[in-house]
Amino acid sequence: MGQESKAPLLVNHSIEKNYEDEGLGRRVWLESKMLWRIIGPAILSRLATYSYNIITQAFAGHIGDTELAAISILISVITGFDFGLLGLTLVYGFHKLGMASALETLCGQAYGAKQYHMLGVYMQRSWIVLLGICVLLLPLYVFAGPLLIFLGQPKDVADLAGYLALWIIPLHFSFAFIFPLQRFLQCQLKNAIYAWSALAGLVVHLVVTWLFVRVLNFGAVGAAATLNISWWVFILGMLIYTVGGGCPETWTGFSMEAFSGLWDFLKLSASSGVMILLENWYYRILVLMTGNMKDAAIAVDALSVCMAINGWEMSIPLSFFAGTGVRVANELGAGNGKGAKFATIVSVVTSAIIGVIIMIIVLIFHEQIALLFSSSKPVLDAVNSMTLLLGLTILLNSIQPVLSGVAVGSGWQARVAYINIGCYYVVGLPLGLLMQWGFDMGVMGVWAGMIFGGTAFQTVILIIITMRCDWEKEAGRATRHVKKWSQV
């Protein structure tokens, strides 16, 4: 870490130099090196942090089916609201990166334009906005139980999930710091620190969850409450590094400048938040709709296991989402349209190849993977019937997030938000409902309709937009954008 803090910010963050003189293989190698400097630690970090949820679900699944359903709903819906609505700020979601993706655009382009001091100011503005949103979203936690009942969840599951939601309010506020810190460090290739912080949180989470659930018998409350500890360990690692001198050019201390331009920052962040919110809620709706089916507990458990496997795998394409956003923003901020286009191509192809490999692995070993989450035979049988859809979802999701990363790096969030509305809620959701209720295909029908009617349609549109993009024009727009925001 000490060596990393002394490293130069990124002397040659553009491949424009001698671009035409380099062979294709050499250009792919150079771009891949820069891309994996971001993606490698990001994958490690995402796998570690997503494993917090996986470990919690796994421990809950061996307590009982109701506990697994409640924890799964809690993670899918409550943190789903955060990842989306913080939205009007935050992000991940899977999931999952709302306003933080606005920060990614601003920091990435400012970094490419060598406006280094603005990265710290942007991050502080993000903290202020996100903390305000956290306060506004508190009722979602306080009234989670009645809200889940209203949305059709079984009463016993909803009551338990609502009670557990009160125990993870500290986790709710942690999101205001986690994602801005990640984007701040990521945009300047200070990636190792958040990977190590995430791993430290994972070790703490595993040990404390085992202690709370198996030794002290705190049950589902212990499994859920442990999430607070592990996520705050993750935050403290990044925060101590940042304010302790690890980023001297980009962190110059707390500044009153962070309080200026908050309204403009909020508007830009809202576009990012809506874009991610619509994607994230789309899959949360899929889980919620299973609560109205026959044998709802089994359906919720099985689909939650599939979504957990998919979410675990999504750590990789979501890392490509982040890496592509940074690379495209850096190149556009430096005025290099060709570099941004080439970064897009390399990232999409690489992620698609990895997606095919993982799809094959999941199709072969799905039974063994499902045993991590439940030992219930009805749940395992239901997961087995969904394997093919899970594999196809993994393949589609290896491409779509990368194209969303291009949108973030280019500042197209508002445009993509409209695309998401049309694809997900005008096409995909109605088709899923038709296949569920009209053709009586149950959870398989709603999942297939939403994936092929929404996600696949959106992916095709994003491919067309990306292929038709005038990258030199985008580079000029990014240069003007950086100048505007540095004066706010």
Q: What SS3 string covers 181-214?
A: HHHHHHCCCCHHHHHHHHHHHHHHHHHHHHHHHH
The mean predicted confidence, pLDDT, of the chain is 78
For residue range 318-357, list pLDDT tens digits in order. Answer: 788 878 888 888 888 778 888 889 999 999 999 999 999 9
9-18, 42-51, 385-394: range with lowest mean pLDDT: 9-18
Q: How confident is the model at residue 207 (pLDDT cuts 50, 70, 90)?
A: very high
Decide: 84 and 273 in contact? Cβ < 8 Å. Answer: yes
Helix (H, G, I), strand (E, B) or coil at 375: coil
Q: What's the token pair of residue 363?
A: 């199709």
For residue range 94-149, list pLDDT tens digits in order. Answer: 334 455 566 777 777 777 777 777 888 888 888 888 888 788 878 878 888 887 78
The predicted model scores a pTM of 0.71
Q: What's the token pair of residue 437?
A: 């209720």
17-31, 53-67, 119-133: range with lowest mean pLDDT: 17-31
Q: Is the pLDDT of residue 382 over 70?
A: yes
Of 199, 260, 213, nearest to 51 (Cα)? 199
Rounded CA gap, 200 and 181, in Å?
16
For residue range 66-89, list pLDDT tens digits in order. Answer: 777 777 777 765 555 333 323 222
Rounded CA gap, 210 and 198, in Å?
18
